[in-house]
Chains A and B, each alone.
Chain A
């Protein structure tokens, strides 16, 4: 490995290292008891997938270059050189064998924040220009076009216009709208680009809910993309630039509240990481679509008829919204208000297994086989529930679950929260 490349990677650890990172680099005792909490280890059953191994990759490099004992006697203290072999192993395990779901964290005997270390490792690889090309391409699309699928603005406005016509027909009301670029609205709504590209019905479902709630809202035709694959590629500058798109757009449109569409990592990247990427506290309110809809139900702004969703429903908890976002109750409040019966997976909630589509995996086609294989755990969970509908407030999860549905022949329907709620909506005449 060339020295200048190595230096770039090491600079990530040499810079302003805070005590959270310092703690997590020094805490793992390699007891290996985290193994069964990781779906990669459970599904693939190879020691290299034990979460502690992923921590060790980063911490051993840290020890080698930044501790006295590691410099003097590396072999004694498990300190490792950052060479080509280590870097390749880091790419394979930190990008290709961790969705950063955080399930291992809760179960770690010490409490090491393993995804935090994995992200630091990804930052090192990003600095060394070793991000998988497929993942980087997704980030580049977002940087150059404003959305990660590179959807041209005309195509997007065409789709929205078409969905608006459908909405008018369905509601029987010429005033039913999917507003674009309107100023001074109560809500600035964001989307996962998969919605206009592949799942436009989820946009109309949300529009139907807004219509029923008589909400004052808008979309932007240019910067609507909630996703931020900069959260995954380890490049904070690029993550900041992407987060800045939505930040600037809500200010341009003078919106009051940003509502994060149904996207787990996008919600996390904007709500929890966005202010840190941009280095400022946000001066507007930001909530997820899950919290918004739950609020509508509690406030009586929308009326639901559970009997309209007769089939048994189960919930897939997106890791970034539930374990890493605290929305356990809100999701259940909505689902239990929208369907005749629902059943839980085992385990569920904060204990839930990732679907396998997190961590940027959906963008990294080189790991497709691995992604489908680890998804077997989720497929088995779904099978055991006997549910006919799997509902999840995350479009990346929807995509992965749809592939699992096909591969493992689950015979279920995959829906977003908005789609489930829209199917149960009772539209009042005064709308």
Chain B
């Protein structure tokens, strides 16, 4: 086995282990005890939280910032695709046909450019800059770089070594940096749905 693949496998194992530890800590912490009597439907609230509440029409963070929202969506799609491709590559499950590789690589370049645009926005926008620390730049930079590296590897086998090293760095960073929201995001949506569902705010009632 090539040395860079061994490094990538080790990084994957460490990343998964660290995320698992965080998951176990989360679950064992337990939900806050809520003794109040509800007036809504918690299950419907939680279901709404994961579905329609995520719609761009429901959130100012989306509809007031459409270019950023669109870039963010493409960026996240690229990240997930890159991680999925990494699993394919490392497990040697199947060979990606050359034609498909070129198309996927080109799409990932677009996704990487979106990540770059978001990173640039963080540098340029004073408000965003004031919110940011090293973690914000590192997370954004590493993820964007990993997307570009995936695209490069799809387009040329010469990119193999840097590709595996960059993805390894990202994997190690995921549970440490704000990138860990890939785990916490789902819990956040659950708690939000529980809160608004129990109180009868979600799903929203239509006004006649």
Contacts and interface: CB of A to CB of B under 8 A. Distances in A.
Given A18-B32, A37-B60, A30 B131 contact: yes
B127 A50 contact: yes
Contact of B36 (A37, A274, A324): A274
A47 B130 contact: yes
Contacts of B65: 33
Interface stretch (A72-80, A212-220, A249-257, A356-364): A72-80
A17 B29 CA distance: 7
Contact of B136 (A48, A78, A332): A78
A85 to B, nearest CB: 15
B134 to A, nearest CB: 5
Contacts of B188: 23-24, 27, 110-113
B207 interface: yes
A200 interface: no
B191 A23 contact: yes
Interface string B25-63: 111011111111101100000000100010000111110
B61 A326 contact: no
Interface residues on B, range: 35 or more
Given A29-B181, A35-B127, A329 B61 contact: no
Contacts of B201: 322-326, 328, 350
Contacts of A33: 60-62, 64-65, 68-69
B191 A20 contact: yes
A29 to B, nearest CB: 5
Interface string A96-109: 00000000011111
Interface stretch (B6-14, B100-108, B159-167, B172-180): B172-180
Contact of B26 (A23, A35, A76, A324): A23
A158 interface: no
Contact of B39 (A34, A35, A326): A326
Contacts of B138: 76
A280 interface: yes
A371 interface: no
A50 to B, nearest CB: 6
A350 to B, nearest CB: 6
Contacts of B61: 31, 33-34, 37, 107-109
Interface residues of A, number: 63
A32 B127 contact: yes
Task: Label chain B's interface by main secondary structure.
Answer: helix
A28 B185 CA distance: 9
Among B26, B131, B139, B196, chain A packs the most CB atoms within 10 A around the CB of B131
Nearest to A336: B208
Contacts of A21: 32
Nearest to A72: B176
| 7 smallest beta-carbon distances between A and B, as pairs | A326-B200, A33-B61, A78-B133, A275-B35, A47-B127, A47-B130, A19-B29
Given A19-B31, A113-B195, A271-B36, 8 more contacts: A28-B178, A33-B65, A47-B131, A107-B60, A109-B69, A109-B72, A110-B181, A328-B205
Interface of B: 22, 25-27, 29-37, 39-40, 49, 53, 58-62, 64-65, 68-69, 72, 125-128, 130-136, 138-139, 176-178, 180-181, 184-185, 187-189, 191-192, 195-196, 199-201, 204-205, 207
15 contacts: A20-B191, A24-B191, A26-B180, A27-B185, A29-B181, A31-B68, A36-B60, A52-B131, A53-B130, A276-B36, A326-B40, A326-B196, A328-B207, A332-B207, A350-B204
